[in-house]
Structure 1
Amino acid sequence: MLRVTTITIILLSVQMLFAQKTIEETLEDTYRPVKKNLRIKVEDTLGNNGFLPVSIVKGKKEGPTFTIVAGVHGFEYPPIIATQQLMQEINIDSLNGTLVFIPIASRGSFYNRTPFKNPEDGVNLNGAFPGNKDGSITQRTASIITKHIIPVSDVFLDIHCGDAPEDLLPFICYYNNKSKPEQTQRAKELSETSGFQYVVSYPYTISHEEPAKYMFKQAVQDGKTALSIESGKLGNVQEEAVVLIKKGVYNMLVEMKMYGKRVEPTKAPIRLNDQVYIKSNKQGIFYSSYNAGDTVQKGAIVGHATDEFGVLIEEYKASKTGIILYMLATPPINKGDTVMCLSSFNPENE
């Protein structure tokens, strides 16, 4: 029995190693065009078993490798549906270069219908990077993406939306990493040609030794051109959000000379680069008459919370004048929750 168990463990280890190598092997194979769907096995010592779905689409001609990831949070449905449609719509014979799709990065979160954390191990994938190959299933998933997906990518796109409780203004964003000016400039160019009305940049303040935590921030830290789309909200599939995501991807592929023609002429984007976050100090029931996309003035009361008896316990004031990028839009509120994110443009942040 011991010998059989030992052999089984060895075989599983070999299969895991082989599965992870198939990503690089598929990309290194010179045969074109080809599409391969891979299930990269992921399991941990807690008894969690699963896989990371990876689809590799290699066009007729060589070119850049563009990676598209959805479903880092399992309740963010428009990015997942848009990615599903893109995988079916792309004509491989018209593609230059390679597309790498991860259609649902956190399958545990998706199939258990939970926002933010994977209930299998209680870990938020978009806080687990660079990951841990010996950790829980989510930490191992992050490690696979860091070690096997990010390194082969020329451009890395992380697609999100407002989660189950969040209202959100659609936007595309990148990190203003001044230590990597070439990659930052390319991310800015791709963002501005995507067709999204709002282009948001975030300051990049971590050192190379610090954990990136967020997935596309890990790609930035690793020297890649990386950006993120936010489109959709409130745990539903809005068709307009799906269309907007796809238009953004197609426009970026056109800009990279990888695929097709521009979906429609792009207008000059509205640029935002100065974000502040209003936080809750109390647990209670949240109320607001505002929506994502509204402009608020500094000092305005943008919401309040009551206790279970309807007694006012906290008011929330805008700390600056700005546009609401996203905000809490459901009644439950906990201490430390982000009530809303306000954004504006500050020339000094360029």
Structure 2
Amino acid sequence: MTKLISKTIALLILTSFSMLKSQSVKEILKQNGSFRKDTIFSIKSDSKETYLPVTIIKGKEKGPVFTIVAGIHGYEYPPIIAVQELLKEIEPENIKGSLIIIPIANVESFLKRVPFVNPLDQKNLNTAFPGLSNGTPTDQIAHLITKEIIPNSTIFLDIHGGDASEDLLPFVCYYNRKDTPENTKRAHELSVKLGIQYVVSYPYTLTSTEPAKYAFKEATQQGITALSIEAGKLGTVQKDNVDLIKTAVYNMLENSGNYAVKKSKTVNQKSTVLLNQQDYIRVPENGIFYSELKSGDKVKKNQILGYISDEFGNKKYDIVSQTTGIILYKVGTPPVNKGETLFCIGYNE
């Protein structure tokens, strides 16, 4: 009986959400005046249903359209909680231009506590862009963000953190797209003013017809100034990372010209460290992972970073660094599966 009541309530909530969605993002942005509007994009695929929540905050004065996305991975909690707090704090009268905010992009992953993938179709939204209009729920979410959100953005910010198994060093990143130098320069300028010490630039080699896979790479491909913040780890809420994300967002909004009121903030006084190369160490075989290292630790080339054993405790592989750099993120839990990213080491050359 309890399950039946829960399902009925969930259906009623989804139905009411579906009724709210009556306009496109572009139509809402064209409306006059200063306002906040919460809207829902309903998603149906066969018998599976979900939704994409979107908030639009428009100020009285003209300005950039700044998009903030959290929860592409629903188990990455600090970005989601930080955006929830921002939604409570930001008032339309303090905004120049507009904000488009997706508070939880992967609602099913969040509600079901499933790391990395959407439980409705077992797909990773972070590798699904540009998506498909008639695909599975994950495909459709990616398609909606690709077609409804990104083209209406001046600046696109995708906020991530360490998922259930990931130990992660906070950093901000962007793609070094050389054929759009103004966007790349703007992304770099915004990055170094966030108050996050580590700034990572990724190489950009996509052609116009290749799938971007990642949300902020899709925005980069569309010619939008795009960045991503990474903060939080191991599938828990850490207040310091929530506060770090909020401070970074406020700093970015002020520097983009979107926030009209000076926001009290604490800026990291440590000098910015730019990392323009990454070395990804993959898991060679299923097993149990041992390492005394953590995110933020510095490592040297040929250093043993840890080892993998089998179920009987027999060591199978030493994990050796091929570069000298700093651990941006690593697997922070014992089980590992072949092909997963075990370490990401950032360095500069």
TM-score (ref. length: structure 1): 0.92
Task: Quote the residue 1:187 is aligned against.
Answer: 187
Q: Which runs of 5+ in 2 are unaligned?
A: 1-16
Deviates more, 1:224-233 or 1:253-262: 253-262
Task: Quote the residue 1:8 is aligned against.
Answer: none
Task: Quote the residue 2:29 is aligned against.
Answer: 27
- Of 308, 311, 318, the residue aligned with 1:308 is 311
Describe how 1:133-282 pairs up with structure 2 within 5 A. 133-259=133-259, 260-261=261-262, 263-265=265-267, 267=269, 268-282=271-285
Shift in Å at residue 265 of structure 1? 4.8
2:264 is aligned with 1:291: no
2:71 is aligned with 1:68: no
Taking the aligned partners of 1:56 and 1:322, their CA distance within structure 2 comes to 40
SS in 2 for 1:286: strand
SS in 2 for 1:302: strand
Taking the aligned partners of 2:341 and 2:73, their CA distance within structure 1 comes to 17
Question: What do the CA deviations read for 1:157-215 (whole angstroms, capped 9, x no partner)?
Answer: 00000110010000000000001111111000000111110010000011111000001
Shift in Å at residue 264 of structure 1? 3.8
Percent of residue pairs identical: 50
**Residue type matched to 1:28 in 2?**
K
Contact 1:125 1:138 (8 Å CA) reproduced: yes
Question: What do the CA deviations read for 1:121-147 (whole angstroms, capped 9, x no partner)?
Answer: 111101110000010011011101000
Residues 113 and 160 of structure 1: CA distance in aligned 2, closer, same or farther (over 3 Å): same
Contact 1:175 1:184 (8 Å CA) reproduced: yes
Contact 2:132 2:140 (8 Å CA) reproduced: yes
Taking the aligned partners of 2:51 and 2:338, their CA distance within structure 1 comes to 35
Contact 1:35 1:55 (8 Å CA) reproduced: yes
Q: Which runs of 5+ in 1 are unaligned?
A: 1-14
Taking the aligned partners of 1:159 and 1:166, their CA distance within structure 2 comes to 15
Task: Quote the residue 1:9 is aligned against.
Answer: none
Shift in Å at residue 21 of structure 1? 3.9
Cα root mean square deviation, aligned: 1.5
SS in 1 for 2:24: helix
2:77 is aligned with 1:99: no
Task: Quote the residue 1:111 is aligned against.
Answer: 111
2:87 is aligned with 1:84: no
Question: What do the CA deviations read for 1:244-278 (whole angstroms, capped 9, x no partner)?
Answer: 00000000111112213262456441111111011
**Residue type matched to 1:328 in 2?**
V
SS in 1 for 2:133: coil
Question: What do the CA deviations read for 1:105-135 (whole angstroms, capped 9, x no partner)?
Answer: 0111111111111010111101110000010
**Residue type matched to 1:42 in 2?**
I
TM-score (ref. length: structure 2): 0.92
Taking the aligned partners of 1:176 and 1:21, their CA distance within structure 2 comes to 35
Shift in Å at residue 279 of structure 1? 1.1
